[in-house]
Structure formats: structure tokens, C-alpha cells
Amino acid sequence: MHCFVLTYFLTFLIGLIRPTIIRRIIQIILLSVATLDFSINFYCLFHLKYFLDADLLQLILGTDINEAKEFASAMVPTWVILLLTILLLLLIGLGWLSCKHNMNLGKKASLVALALTTIAIAPHFHIKYLWKDGPIYRLSELLEYDMPNQLNAYYSHPNISFNNQQQDMPANVVLIIGESFARSHSSLYGYDKPTNPCLSELRDNSLLFAFDSINSPAPTTAESIQYMLSTYSHSDDNNTNKKWYEFVSIIEALQECGYGCSWFGNQARHSIKNGTARLYAEACNRPFFLQQEGSDSFNDRYDNVLIDSSFQYINQPDQKHSPRFIIYHMMGSHFDFKMRYPSEYNHFKEDDYASEPIEHRTILATYDNSILYNDYIVSQIMNLFHDKDAVVIYVPDHGQVMYRNQKRPDYYAHGFSRDSVSYALGVEIPFIIYASPVFQKQHPDLMSLINSRQEHPKTWNSDELPYLIMHIVGIKEINGKDVKDKSLLN
């Protein structure tokens, strides 16, 4: 109704414009933009189950022509193009009919219709998000869009000073970036279903530490990864003219310390959500993309591919890339949940959610199964480093709302920046550190900090993740800034 009324109103106003030629030009421009907007949204909603958003814009704008073609051929089925063509022809036909038989309303009838629509639209004027969510908001997002070609071009070679000797640096620093893991669905954090048996076992053996009260910097992938991997943080949002990619990234900082950086990514290289991740990956000395093409919806490799592909690299003595900073980017619990785990992990069933509304049960069961499989994969990656001097950090890019927003009880996907309740639910994440037995022996000072932080949680945002990693590596100051100040372990 909102759209209809708005469209009618606009059409009426444009109808008043004289001379005719200017009116015609405005009509053609508006109709073209509207057709494009409709086609993209129709496709997104039908195929990807959500409307055009900033992430999708990043894909469209962040690719070159070849990638766009590749994407289009993988994603847009012929029947969608056919259907849109038929719709367009139908519209042209209707326009022609209305002209030929003079089906326009007369002046008086138009005024009556205008009055009626004004009455209909009036109660909606105060609803802010109807306007914020509309085409004007989209356009402003489009104008704000900003993505460099590569990060290395912005390397600034920061001044770094160390606490002790550089020999104390851990030989393996590992970062596992998870996907869409809501803290409320982790049994490590009190969820009533056993979704984290493997990680719990590691915790019981004093190898794993789970930290409470930690939020992700954003409820969506691309934005969150910008903050997590660069020293750019929320406090810089309004305080600087520098762009996020002009800040030192954790990859650059560790490369400056002599670390060889590798990236094992199981999200599609050319994916909607992945523009920023790809930039960071390509800044690494050895980037491996295990899913090359298309969208994440079509990814057919489970996350175990991360273990298989990195096993040999981890166990190879590698003088050239030592010490090592290894980043894993998981598919985790990316929607569509049921595509994220093999059939053996079909453990939770609809019946296990008897107290939940019937239409929520399949999603809850498949989500928890994806968390269960994630538990296995993350623990296996940690086990790869059991006999090495290694610290492994697991942090998802963001959480999921999972039906907890009472204003929108049927919504489960990622949080929205413009709705404070949904945002707060969408950024609640687990945060886990694994310390191998060798690491625990060689870095007792860090271990006492980790132990005490686990016992006394502090509110912390993972946009400060680079400072935690630099703290662990033994960096005292970067460009004159104290690293410990922003670290989780301070």
C-alpha cells in the first residue's frame, strides 16, 4: 500500500510538469531506474531471499566486467531473464492500450483519487524505516561505497617497538574467522543443547578459554571484517577522514614483524559478502581460495576442506614463512544452514524444539546442526597445532538474531544496523582462544592474563582484535600508540 500510494503521488506530481518534453524525460529516467531496481530486487528476493543491500552493492561495484559476467552466468538462470522480458513487454502493451483507448482518468476523478490516497498515506508518514529503507537510502549507500583495488598499495610500514626480545614471538599465530555464530546457541555459553561438545572437551583439558561479554563490530560480514582486521575501529568512525583501508591492517603489522601470512578461505572468492575478505586475503603472502567462483549459496564444499588443504602446509618445516600467521575464513553457519554440514551431522531434529513455534523448528534444527559441525571443524583446526608453539583465536564475523527480537518474532537472519534491538542481538558472539601445551609452557605471562580474563570478563568489541594479536606477539607500541590499552587481555 505504501509503495502504491507513493507511486501514485509521484506520478500525479510529475503529470503536472510542463513543458511536455521535460515531463517525458523525467518519466523515462524514473521508469528506467524503477525497472532496474525492480529487476534486481525481484531477483534478490526470489533467489537469495533478501533485498538489495550494501553487501550486494559491494559485489556489483567491486567486480570487474569479467567477474560480473562469470557471476551472472553462474547465478542468473535463463528463465529469470525470460520472465523479466515478458513483464516488460506486458507493461509496454498496457501503456499502448491505455493510450489508444484513452483510459486515463479525467481531471475530477484524478483529484478524488489523489485525496483518497493522501488519506491512506497520512498514517504512515511517521514510520521512519519505510523511508529509510527505500530507494533514497539505497542511493546514499551507493554513493558512500568505497573499496580499494588492493591493500598493499596503502601499506605505511608503521613504527613498531617490542616488549622483550623478538625471539619470544609465538611461532604460530592462528586466526579462525567464523561465520554467523550466535553466542546464545553455543553450549560453551550455557545453551541448553549440546552444540559445542568438542570445544567443551578442549576447555575441560585447560587448552581452550571462552570469553564472555564480547560483541562483533557489525552485524554483517563485509563491514565486520573491515573493522576486525584493521586498526580502524568504531572510535574512528567520526574522528578521522582516513578510510578504513588506510589504517594498518593486522596482516601488515605481522608482516612487519617477520611473520609469513597465509589465508585459507572457504567463502566464495567472488561472493556477495566477500569483497573485504578477498582484499585481506590477497594482502597475505599465501592466499588460498578453496571456493573459486559464484555465490556462497552454491558453495558445495564443507569446511573440512580447510583442514585437508592446510594440513600439509602446517606440518612442513618452512624457513621462508616462519614465524607464521595463518588465517582461516570459514563458511561456518552461513545461510542456507542445511547446506553447511554433511548428513552425519543431522543430529538435532524438529522434534527437539517442541516448545518453539512450529514454523521456526526446521531453521532452529538446521542452524544448531551447522553449529555442531562448526564445533568439530574448529576443534580439528586447533588440534592441528597441538604439538606446536601456537595460539589459535576463533571469532565469528557476527551473530544471528535467531527469533529473539520480540518486535519481529519470525526473523532469524543477521541483525540490522538501523534497528537497535536487532543490532544488539546480531553482534553477540562467542570468543575463544586455544593455547597449545607448548605455548602454555613458553608464554606463562600471557597464560596468566588469559586465565584471569576468562574469570573476569570485560566488555570488549572485536574491532580491537588487531591489538589483541599484537599484544600476544609482544608488540609494545605501534606508531607510538600503546598496544596493551586496547587488548582484550589488558
For residues 427 and 218, is the Cβ–Cβ distance under 8 A? yes
Q: Shortest distance, CB of residue 147 to Zn ion, whole angstroms?
A: 17
Q: Shortest distance, CB of residue 251 to Zn ion, whole angstroms?
A: 19
Residue number, 255 or 366, with CB nearest to Zn ion: 366
- Given candidates 221, 274, 370, 461, which one binds Zn ion under the rule CB under 5 A? 221
| Stretch touching Zn ion by CB under 5 A, among 87-95, 179-187, 252-260, 263-271 | 179-187
Residue number, 170 or 399, with CB nearest to Zn ion: 399
User: Does 303 engage in binding with Zn ion (CB under 5 A)?
Assistant: no
Give the DSSP H/E element, type plus range, for residue 432.
Answer: strand 431-435
- Given candidates 55, 303, 397, 464, which one binds Zn ion under the rule CB under 5 A? 397
- The grid coordinates of residue 169 equal 614471538
* Residues listed for the chain: 490
Residue number, 277 or 435, with CB nearest to Zn ion: 277
| Stretch touching Zn ion by CB under 5 A, among 70-78, 146-154, 215-223, 231-239 | 215-223
| Stretch touching Zn ion by CB under 5 A, among 155-163, 175-183, 247-255, 441-449 | 175-183
Strand order in the sheet with 260-265: 208-211, 431-435, 390-396, 172-178, 324-329, 260-265, 286-289
Phi, psi (rounded to 5 degrees) for 332: 50, -125
Residue number, 179 or 303, with CB nearest to Zn ion: 179
| Stretch touching Zn ion by CB under 5 A, among 19-27, 79-87, 221-229, 354-362 | 221-229
| Stretch touching Zn ion by CB under 5 A, among 106-114, 124-132, 214-222, 275-283 | 214-222
- The grid coordinates of residue 477 equal 607500541
What is the chain's alpha carbon radius of gyration, rounded to the nearest angstrom? 26
Cis, peptide link before residue 336, omega less than 30° from 0: yes
Which bin fits 94, alpha (ψ -120 to 50), beta or left (φ > 0)? alpha
Q: Shortest distance, CB of residue 99 to Zn ion, whole angstroms?
A: 49
3-state SS class at 217: coil
For residue 381, the one-letter residue type is I
Q: What is the DSSP letter of 316?
A: S
First to last CA, the chain: 54
Residue number, 222 or 390, with CB nearest to Zn ion: 222
Using CB under 5 A, which residues numbered 451 to 480 contact Zn ion?
none
Q: How far apart are CA 220 and CA 266, in angstroms?
A: 17
Q: Shortest distance, CB of residue 129 to Zn ion, whole angstroms?
A: 22
Residue number, 331 or 392, with CB nearest to Zn ion: 331
- The grid coordinates of residue 362 equal 526446521
Chain positions contacting Zn ion, by CB under 5 A: 179, 221, 397
